[in-house]
Structure 1
Amino acid sequence: MDDDQEFRREIRDWLAANVTAELRGSGGVGRESEAFEQRRDFARRLAAAGWSTLAWPVEHGGRGASLARQVIFHEEYARSGAPGRVDHIGLTMVGPTLIGLGSDRQRKRFLPGIAAATELWCQGYSEPGAGSDLAAVTTRARLDGDQWVITGQKVWTSLAHVADWCFMLVRTAPIPDGASRHAGLSYLLVPMRQPGITVRPIRQLTGDSEFNEVFFDEARTEADLVVGEPGQGWRVAMATLGFERGAATVGQQVGFQRDLDDLVALARRTGATDDPAVRERLTRAWIDLTVLRAHTLRLLAAPPATGTATVIKLLWSRWRQGLGELAMTVLGPRGVAPDPGDAEAERWRRLFLFSRADTIYGGSNEIQRGILAERVLGLPRQDRR
């Protein structure tokens, strides 16, 4: 325990010395493009100091930190106001996937760049006709000598406009008669900077363009850049999603607590707490967040189980969406028509608008509930026709 407290002091001191006023709070909700170059430089300093790969095994360039220390890091990172990460997709999704399921060559090729934040990644899962239903992807790849040739479209691809590489789920073989739709899918690693790829930004309600649609017109990648065997893509993709929802969610909840504290302060200052209904909703938000944190810590400490990540995603996405709605109630008319330069109102408006997507991305809440019903409760499979 004393060692963990010393670890907390160490990371807290490092962040205090390195999170400048310019960086503090940048790249937050609805501001993913803000101060991008400065945030990338910060990610590289964080990596050089050995903080980025805490959870990775020592033999793969990490520190093999305990779950408790991972939680401490994410808590202190959030409390310091450190900037939104530009390298999180590589660190929390691709890196762990390659460590667990990649080849030795893939690990040697990609893990150092991910760890050092010198190569950034994006995720190519969703398509116009295959969002949460990933088994319906139609982007195809065929072998041409020693390369895969890829044709199709991905959408809602976060950070594709700045990424060096994309990990993607594609169809490399037709579905055999009577087989699951998951058959014939493969998980490829694809360089983004090539003539066969076009990235088009999607303007969001917040005015930012974090998301993109990406077109692959006979784009190419090497034949050995398939993770696992061809046709095993579904298993690999599900493993990646499991890694995504790890200890970092605790740090996310620290950020939620800061948002809630700020909203309570705003409600008191404006007199919104004179309304019993507003007081009740603020109290309920505090209770729900306290329960969410306790539940998340319990699930993270337990042996891996089907549905764990799904439950956490369902809880936090609905909570933050509710906070955005509550913020609009507290602001009242100011939330609809703020004065020019009203940064406080703009912050809450961005949270409200961005949180509309919380119950959609990463697997819509409807799909997540279906997964729990079928795989945990054993209920009949949904008709997805």
Structure 2
Amino acid sequence: MATPSWRKFILFVLKLLVSGNTSLPHPAALPPVVQSSSPPTNAILKGMPWPIQRDGGGGGTVAGQHIINFSDTSTLNEDDKKKAGYYPFVSNTIVTTSAMLRQLGFQDGKTLTDYGSDGFAKQQWPFDGTETSTAGRRVGIWPDTNIVSACDGQCGYTVSSVVDISRIPPYHPTDLYSTLAKITIGADGPSVERVVPRMWYANEINYGLYGLARARDDSDDIFMFGAPKGAFGIKVARVAEDSIRDRSKYIFWNGKEWATTSPAANDASANIFNYRSGDYGVGTGDVFWSNYYNTWLAVFNDEFTVDDTFKLMYSTNGAITGPWSTVAQNVTVTPGCSGSDCAVSYNYNSHAYPDIDTTGKTLLLGWIYNGTTTQFTTITFK
């Protein structure tokens, strides 16, 4: 039976909304105001027959599918634990977020599909031949960054830390360098190619490690964000997509103009915005364009807050370089684990997932609870 014309029209409009091929005629007034937030819920896991524990985060859209990066991942396969004495473990994983009403293009962002075989989730980011473990230590690839769409939507770029870590608590990871990756999706799920195995080193500003975003002008540029320790704010570089692998093609915002040399890591005047709470600065989060407010938003947590209070700052004029708001707003509080059986009392790896609702009216937020569990809430702007 043919689809009625009225239904075709509704499907067409919904697809436009989901794909972002529309904009609000009258953007909401600044500053952003949160009207409500949903109760925190655990991610719904699919694709593997066992529970999965992990941390990390950061999402984006590749080939029309929303995906999320994760770091250390354990598959709670009891049979394998009996054989080996421990649960199957990998340094990182990537999930796709299962669709709701897939024929309309909706994705809830909270239903996560894992990929793997032989009893454990697949490690997606590969080690190179030199990244080998030594006695009492191991090398980890810990993605905790969003993914920016590229290749006309058919791939995504993202950045991850490569760390050297003790096998004994409290672990004390040491940053080695960042690595730039290109992500594609095929019949067997996501695939990661580390196109620059060593991008920025620990003594440099790790541009891209705090996030990536498309420029809003007529260029094909990608913004690469960094949040170096002691800077108490966010710095930004930009580069053409075709040159993203070439450090010599990057230009850097120095507080006044785009320049060919990077500012000093602790030069606060080169930040696009500043944030400080005592001795702590910007924690994990995301910088992204909001169609609802027609400007750039930054949503992040304090570098050290037990209750994981999400903060929000915004560009006052729609430019990535600002000026930005000077006071961070509290968006929502996600309580940490408080029982005697809690392994970790605080939440961490906080992220925003703006691709889930490209109208920008709502925003999905995620974090890691009790060191193992991905949780989400959705905030609705007024």
TM range, smaller chain: under 0.3
The structure with more radius of gyration: 1
Q: TM-score, normalised by structure 1?
A: 0.24
Q: TM-score, normalised by structure 2?
A: 0.24
> RCO (CA 8 Å, sep 6+): is it higher in 1 or 2?
2
